[in-house]
Structure 1
Amino acid sequence: MKAIVADDSRLIRGIIEKTAASIGFEAVQAGNGREALSLLEASGGEINLVLLDWNMPLVSGIDVIRKMRGDDRFKKIPVLMISTESEEDRIQEAIRAGAQGYLTKPFTADQLTDAIHQVLEKH
């Protein structure tokens, strides 16, 4: 299974990728939302999960979700938003936009693993 890990922090991408790999995902990294969308375009439908930061340069995570949900090729791919944005209205905005789950930073590997499993179960 393949996942996109999109975060503007290389360190956070590495942590998320390592955790995703521990449960069987091959991850590709994107440093911003535009890169994440490009990876989706180039994936040929092989992406099974997108793990997105909200606050990224060029294209934000919330805009990536909106673009995914507006595109028949990508609208069914599960999305987990991982962000420092912890206000309830932001969480609800991400869910309304089409995220299946939301995890606030900082997080533990166990919390991330649980959140990924919950998102996949909803899918």
Structure 2
Amino acid sequence: MPNKVLIVDDSRAMRCILAKIIAGLGFEVLQAGDGLQALAILGHEHSQVRLVLSDWNMPTMDGLAFVKAVRADQRFAALPIVMVTTETHIEQMIVALSAGANEYIMKPFTTEMVEDKLRMLQVVR
């Protein structure tokens, strides 16, 4: 079974862009439009999800609340989470990392930027 990556973003276009990059690295892609949908997917697929890429600004449950909810569940203690967002202030980055995000990618991004972050997290070689 292939390893799965969960992409969480309210923008369908952004999910498609990230999915193309991630699928190109050999992962199966799961998608959610907000944090609540993502939590439901994680609850069902938790043993196979190897990485989460999450937007910050989303309706229903934003990325920060999602990260906090994931980190509150011991099953996901080691699950890498990367915030992929337009939030560019250093203070926002610190908030996300303090909440439990492992890395931070600012939009707009390149394929190389995403791949570099995944290498840093040792998710890909």
Same fold (TM over 0.5): yes
TM-score calculated relative to the size of structure 2: 0.92
User: Does the Cα contact within 8 Å between 1:53 and 1:83 map onto a contact in 2?
Assistant: yes
Aligned to 2:16: 14
Matches within 5 A, 1:25-104: 25-104=27-106
Shift of 1:44: 4.1
- Paired-residue identity, %: 38
Could you say what the CA RMSD is over the residues aligned between the two structures, in angstroms? 1.1
- Matched to 1:37, the amino acid is L
Aligned residues: 121
| 1:22-75 CA-partner distances (Å, limit 9, x unpaired) | 112111000111111110011141110000000011001111111111101112
Greater mean alpha carbon deviation, residues 111-120 or residues 31-40 = 111-120
Q: Which aligned runs of 4 or more in structure 1 are off by greater than 3 angstroms?
A: none
- Matched to 1:33, the amino acid is G
Q: For 1:4, what is the secondary structure of its paired residue?
A: strand
- The 1-side partners of 2:11 and 2:28 are apart by 19
* Ranges in structure 1 where 5+ consecutive residues have no aligned partner: none
TM-score calculated relative to the size of structure 1: 0.94
User: Does the Cα contact within 8 Å between 1:32 and 1:56 map onto a contact in 2?
Assistant: yes
- The 2-side partners of 1:51 and 1:112 are apart by 10
- The 2-side partners of 1:102 and 1:119 are apart by 11
* Ranges in structure 2 where 5+ consecutive residues have no aligned partner: none
